[in-house]
Structure 1
């Protein structure tokens, strides 16, 4: 079968290769999926580049997310699953989710533990299914870790990015009033169409001032944050007492300082989110909710670019060049 294999850390053009490798057979407890689309996430690019550690094997098939059809099952798996459309997550991770694995969805076939193949609801195409794993599951955990959002005011930073876009849609579907931040007019339009009532351009003046002007001080019940370091100092000003934060990245400073007492005085709770190492119970809740949102049309990932499997290098370069607003996939 054909697959995109990473052979060393570094640039995509030098270290991603389209190879013919042996088609895998499912072990006990596994399903084999004929892949139709493979999601390409920023985290996949960071792994390949070396930003998150050395190679775990001489050859690694890349990508965590994907969608396709179960075509074989291992011992102990219900044979009725053969023919089932599924979406995949955490494929390119170690069993505990903390490290990288050697399997990936950038291939014609992949074998995964049965739990990593979630049913794809009727009417949802494979392209959209390939965009659910990292972005939608991250957004779900960052949104709902502290409970219901009904009638709450939710701020989503980076509301047009893959995670932020999913978070805006799910928060609105859950009955929240959604505020989003963006960096351009085009991204503002995308966030508004996703369900954001108010969209603020953080490049057009101090963001905390903009939030207070639009909503008042201490007006945000919950924040889904793409850059905790950039926003942590303003939390005591914008968050209500008992407010909650789901932070899934902190790119501007990997070790942000915390204004402990101002946060403590308002009992603001911050939950870091690393989607790969969530408990299976947390993943199961996310899968169920995501599929419910899909079924009723409340969640629709934005596919910004489609590439052929042979064009995986270009897909990685497009993500690293920040030229896409939304998700990238490889069609297989």
Structure 2
């Protein structure tokens, strides 16, 4: 049998709209010391991927780049010095291309450091594996930065706490709802329309508030009279006043995005009065010790049946082929609700 010597890969050599993405044929790379090669089954697309490709984040590429940080597949080869991973293991990967332009998951095979590869729990499919990565780890970090809160998530770790998730129909919001509920919190979320309310309810939110139909601060205070313990925030500028109106003293606002781009202005007096804590969340610099711990907790939630994807879990899946990667990027860039996945090597 003739061995495969080349693979399909998506590459871009300049910043721009999705049309800069091209399908090329490349040699299959070999893993070096401390690395593994993964045959990618499904690649996940996140906002950070199109922002990098467009030049919005990180500027122009210094070299040819394969997009997409998240994915799931099967370990195909193992370099020296790697323990705990073997050929044939089902795995998920995250931040595959961080500092490694050729390492993105929009290709048949990717070579990544072993620390970026995690076992895919038994019973979890590759679509779930490709969907968790950046969104679920971001959600985990956002939920574990409170002054009086846990550093890890387990059942009952957030028992007795009230968590507000802004934008509960997004990928990070969906993961935050599911993880917070698994950890025992009472979960409140805000959405902009009824279709998104249905998704947030499917994710497991106890209370869903359409902020266009009522006064969200009043509605949240009816649920949390003393204020919420923590806010998982996707639109820091737009929601600044709401967050202060509903935060309890010594509460935390975890900011992972600023959708809408409104300026973030801090009212010093109100924040001091609350002893408020602000935590900005970006995985590129959070440290691999925290990412590894988050991945372990996320896998436990998956094993417990508490973290899922799909319409029934409040996160519709939108599937594309590798050849249609440009369309997949365009869908995420346009704000498509749900999770965009690329079937690289369908099983």
The TM-score bracket by the shorter chain reads: over 0.9
Q: Classify 1:144/1:45 alpha carbon distance in 2 versus 1 (closer, same or farther; 3 Å).
A: same
- Match status 1:106 vs 2:111: no
- 1:107 alignment partner, SS class: coil
Residue of structure 1 equivalent to 2:342: 330
Number of positions where the alignment pairs a residue of Structure 1 with one of Structure 2 = 324
> Following TM superposition, by how much is the alpha carbon of 1:62 offset from its aligned partner in structure 2, in angstroms?
0.7
Q: Classify 1:220/1:61 alpha carbon distance in 2 versus 1 (closer, same or farther; 3 Å).
A: same
Residue of structure 2 equivalent to 1:241: 249
Residue of structure 2 equivalent to 1:39: 44
> Following TM superposition, by how much is the alpha carbon of 1:229 offset from its aligned partner in structure 2, in angstroms?
1.0
- 1:230 alignment partner, SS class: coil
- 1:69 alignment partner, SS class: strand
Residue of structure 1 equivalent to 2:154: none
Give the conservation status (yes or no) of the 8 Å contact 2:40–2:108: yes
Question: Which of 74, 81, 91 is the matching residue for 2:79?
Answer: 74
Note the 1:111-150 alignment, pairs <5 A. Answer: 111-146=111-146, 147-148=149-150, 149-150=158-159
- Match status 1:313 vs 2:318: no
Note the 1:204-215 alignment, pairs <5 A. Answer: 204-212=213-221, 214-215=222-223
Q: Show CA shifts across 1:105-145 (max 9, x none).
A: 00000000001011110110111100111100001101112
- Match status 1:181 vs 2:190: yes
Note the 1:155-174 alignment, pairs <5 A. Answer: 155-174=164-183
Give the conservation status (yes or no) of the 8 Å contact 1:217–1:237: no
Partners in 2 of 1:303 and 1:68 — Cα distance? Answer: 21
Q: Show CA shifts across 1:202-243 (max 9, x none).
A: 22244323323x325542111101011112223332111111
Question: Which of 47, 55, 59 is the matching residue for 2:60?
Answer: 55
Give the conservation status (yes or no) of the 8 Å contact 1:32–1:72: yes
> Following TM superposition, by how much is the alpha carbon of 1:69 offset from its aligned partner in structure 2, in angstroms?
0.5
Give the conservation status (yes or no) of the 8 Å contact 1:40–1:63: yes
Partners in 2 of 1:171 and 1:77 — Cα distance? Answer: 33
Partners in 2 of 1:254 and 1:76 — Cα distance? Answer: 47
- Match status 1:8 vs 2:21: no
Residue of structure 1 equivalent to 2:155: none
- Match status 1:272 vs 2:277: no
Question: Which shows bigger deviation, 236-245 or 163-172?
Answer: 236-245
> Following TM superposition, by how much is the alpha carbon of 1:55 offset from its aligned partner in structure 2, in angstroms?
2.5
Give the RMSD, CA atoms, in angstroms. Answer: 1.6
Partners in 1 of 2:70 and 2:188 — Cα distance? Answer: 28
TM-score computed with the length of structure 1 as normaliser: 0.93
Residue of structure 2 equivalent to 1:21: 26
Q: Show CA shifts across 1:147-206 (max 9, x none).
A: 232210100000010000000001001000000111111111111121111101122244
Q: Show CA shifts across 1:75-97 (max 9, x none).
A: 11138511111100011112xxx
Partners in 1 of 2:259 and 2:306 — Cα distance? Answer: 29
Residue of structure 2 equivalent to 1:290: 298
Note the 1:213-224 alignment, pairs <5 A. Answer: 214-215=222-223, 217-224=225-232
Note the 1:193-208 alignment, pairs <5 A. Answer: 193-208=202-217
Gaps of 5+ in 1: 95-99
Gaps of 5+ in 2: 1-6, 151-157, 310-314
Partners in 1 of 2:325 and 2:319 — Cα distance? Answer: 10
- 2:107 alignment partner, SS class: coil
> Following TM superposition, by how much is the alpha carbon of 1:253 offset from its aligned partner in structure 2, in angstroms?
3.3
Partners in 2 of 1:167 and 1:196 — Cα distance? Answer: 10
- 1:227 alignment partner, SS class: coil
Partners in 1 of 2:69 and 2:130 — Cα distance? Answer: 9
